[in-house]
Amino acid sequence: MKKKSKQKNIISRLFVDMGKYQNRFWAVFAVIVVIKFCLAAAPIAVSWITDTMQQFVTSGNYDFGYLLTECAVLAVLYLIGYGADGFINRSLVLISQNLSLRLRNKAGHKLNRLTIHYSDNHPLGDIQSRVTTDMLNLSNGIESTLPSLLGQAVLMAAIAVMMLFTNIWLALIYIIAMPVTFIGLRTIAKRTNKIFKNTNKHLGKMNSLVSDTYSNHTVVKAYSCVDEKEKEFDELNREFEKLFVRSRFTSGFMRPFSDLMAKISYILLCLVGGFLMIKGTLTLGEFTAFLFYGNMIGVPISELSVAFNNFQDSLSSASRIYEFLDEDEEPEETPQQTLSLNEIKGKVAFENVKFGYTPEKVLMEDVSFTANPGNTMAIVGPSGAGKTTLINLLMRFYDIQGGTIRLDDIDIKELSKHNLRSAFGMVLQETWIFDGTIAENIAFGKPNATREEVIKAAKLAYCDSFIERLPNGYDTYISNENSALSAGEKQLLSIARAIIANPKVLILDEATSQVDTKTEEVITKAMQAMMKGRTSFIIAHRLYTIRNADKIIFMKDGDIKEVGSHEELLEKQGYYAAMYASGISAE
């Protein structure tokens, strides 16, 4: 019962998302009803023609005008029955593509508003599968499967009405046989739908593995993990193959079962119809009409079973799409205050901050520190200490459970996330380059930037020289997966992107951890130029790079253990001094 209500809910949501095309859908449905009833009425016209011809034979009186009229009626019925397919097909293409457009727009909107928690806990390949493969499956279902499903269902109903109109006793054969057929088909469809859902899940896992392996193919090869990844893909592929075969094998019983029931009904029709003709209660024309119906009924039952099965697959895809669209978003905000970006000084304060990714597992219990405008704050500590979490809280990627975080003495919860994040510039350990020109990548920090501003930012970031050496200079097309730029050059582009945005607070998350010493020197010079006059937070990878920081925050197990300058912390002979003396990097 719960599953039925869920499917009804999905169908109702699909109707809502059709928008202005709802009326067109009902027009299509009305046309389908008309044409299928015309096709169902055609055997009645055939029975008239048969009885007329028999009357001609027995009476010897021939009225060809009357016969031609009956033939004309039959021709009109067939013309209407088969002539509206173009309108139906074109309309359903428009409906499906409009629906897909709306759902893709919603998915695009959702992608930009998902919580960081969702992104951290769901594989990229599965998300891609929902937005692409499932969307295409739903579109194909509406264009191809839906007209067959509606058409055959209406045709069966129309045939049942015409049978009752012609002879109730012969009609009872099909009225009894049809529910039995549907019960059998429904039982098979239930099992098939479960397998279809598991098949789609495995397809999502395969997409995720392919995406992860390709985007990190250098790492995979460097660590000689090719065989392991091939084995993992092979296991998923074999499981997908098993599920796919099971789904097709199970659904394969639907057509033979429906055909068998149709043939049994046809045999009963011949027996009962022959008996009624002998008794004189059934004419030859009426019996001929039922022979037509016997042949016709097998097609919609068979097609309906296949269409119903395929539509279940489309609904499964729709379910996965709506599951994604129903995921939690960053909540709507009613900011109480607004910070003018030109007037931000850059003071940051954590006051008794408490946080845990789950309420039952607290990571930070009582974190407090203050960064004054223009200060350089280095955050160090072992892996898993909470360094990146600290930055996530400052940017409000996650909200704290206790305490206060302030920017220029304003609680950041009183600011909109857009207003807050506009005050920050970030250069991360993993550079992000999108498909576009170098100039477009730099201007991402300021979309309306002029070419002069782009070049100025590039020069301040020490990347103008290598850009000019490229074949098309600033108009060279690059992408994250396929680029002639080195890791260090990509990092310099990220710094140029931050410079052009002119943020008041900088966050540098291990920005030099993936480059060689020479490139690190260039990146460090670029960062120092960028940090002038700005409050900066540096998550340090190499301890010697942050000796000149105004304050060094040493974190462990989510808590701040020590705060002070390089010299002050060495004098304390505590955590920082021990890590520095041992030469261990702040991982």
289 has a pLDDT exceeding 50: yes
Q: Are residues 439 and 485 in the same domain?
A: yes
Tokens of 363: 């990571």
**DSSP assignment string, 403-437:** EEEEETTEEGGGS-HHHHHTTEEEE-SS----SEE
* CA contacts within 13 A on the Cβ side of 165: 15
543 has a pLDDT exceeding 80: no
Evaluate whether 546 touches 566 at the Cβ level (below 8 Å): yes
For the segment 236-249, the average pLDDT, to the nearest whole number, is: 80
* Nearest-angstrom CA–CA distance, 374 and 347: 8
Q: Are residues 168 and 258 in the same domain?
A: yes
HEC states along 133-192? HHHHHHHHHHHHHHHHHHHHHHHHHHHHHHHHHHCHHHHHHHHHHHHHHHHHHHHHHHHH
Q: Are residues 257 and 369 in the same domain?
A: no
Query: The CATH number of the domain where 284 resides is what?
Result: 1.20.1560.10
Q: Which of 325, 357, 374 is the last residue of a domain?
A: 325
131 has a pLDDT exceeding 80: yes
Task: Please name every residue paired with 406 in a beta bridge, in sequence order, or none if there are none.
Answer: 349, 411
**What is the residue whose two structure tokens read 């045999």?**
267
Strand order across the beta sheet in which 410-411 lies: 364-371, 348-355, 402-407, 410-411
What pLDDT is recorded for position 501? Answer: 84
For the segment 120-136, the average pLDDT, to the nearest whole number, is: 81
Tokens of 65: 């005008």
Q: Are residues 378 and 318 in the same domain?
A: no
* Nearest-angstrom CA–CA distance, 189 and 168: 31
Task: Report the mean per-residue pLDDT for the chain.
Answer: 82
221 has a pLDDT exceeding 70: no
H or E segment and range at residue 396: none
Tokens of 236: 């998923």
Query: The CATH number of the domain where 570 resides is what?
Result: 3.40.50.300
What pLDDT is recorded for position 404? Answer: 94
512: closest CA among 428, 408, 438, 415? 428
pLDDT in tens, 331-378: 776 677 777 777 788 899 999 999 888 777 888 888 888 999 989 898
Q: Are residues 362 and 300 in the same domain?
A: no
What pLDDT is recorded for position 406? Answer: 92
Q: Count other Cβ atoms within 10 Å, centred on residue 445.
A: 20
Residue 179 lies in a domain: yes
* Nearest-angstrom CA–CA distance, 41 and 98: 35
Q: Are residues 259 and 147 in the same domain?
A: yes
For the segment 545-556, the average pLDDT, to the nearest whole number, is: 86
HEC states along 293-354? HHHHHHHHHHHHHHHHHHHHHHHHHHHHHHHHHCCCECCCCCCCCCCCCCCCCCCEEEEEEE
For the segment 287-293, the average pLDDT, to the nearest whole number, is: 82
282 has a pLDDT exceeding 50: yes
Q: Which of 265, 292, 325 is the last residue of a domain?
A: 325
Angle in degrees, CA 256, 258, 260, rounded to 5: 65
For the segment 55-59, the average pLDDT, to the nearest whole number, is: 76
Beta strands in 35-106 (DSSP E): none
What pLDDT is recorded for position 511? Answer: 62
Residue 397 lies in a domain: yes
Evaluate whether 32 touches 87 at the Cβ level (below 8 Å): no
1 has a pLDDT exceeding 50: no
* Nearest-angstrom CA–CA distance, 106 and 114: 12
Crossing angle for the helix pair 284-325 and 85-111, to the nearest 10 degrees? 10
With 0-12 / 13-18 / 19 or more C-beta atoms within 10 angstroms meaning exposed / middle / buried, residue 345 is middle
Q: Are residues 268 and 360 in the same domain?
A: no
135 has a pLDDT exceeding 70: yes
Q: Are residues 396 and 266 in the same domain?
A: no
Q: What is the pTM of this model?
A: 0.64
Evaluate whether 551 touches 375 at the Cβ level (below 8 Å): yes
Tokens of 326: 């129903």
Residue 214 lies in a domain: no
pLDDT in tens, 485-523: 887 788 888 888 888 888 888 888 776 665 666 766 777
405 has a pLDDT exceeding 90: yes
541: closest CA among 512, 502, 576? 512
Question: What domain range is 31 assigned to?
Answer: 21-196+253-325
Of all residues in the chain, what percent carry a pLDDT higher than 90?
Answer: 10
Q: How many domains does the chain have?
A: 2
Q: Are residues 298 and 395 in the same domain?
A: no
Phi–psi pair at 59, nearest 5 degrees: -95, -25
pLDDT in tens, 61-119: 777 788 888 889 889 988 988 888 888 888 999 999 999 999 999 888 888 788 777 77
Q: Are residues 488 and 546 in the same domain?
A: yes
Q: Are residues 528 and 418 in the same domain?
A: yes
The DSSP 8-state label assigned to residue 114 in this structure reads B
SS3 (DSSP) at 361: strand
Q: Are residues 426 and 491 in the same domain?
A: yes
The DSSP 8-state label assigned to residue 385 in this structure reads S
Q: Which residue has the higher pLDDT, 418 or 117?
A: 418
**What is the residue whose two structure tokens read 């016997």?**
294
**What is the residue whose two structure tokens read 């599951």?**
323
136 CB-near residues (< 8 Å, 6+ apart): none
What pLDDT is recorded for position 519? Answer: 67
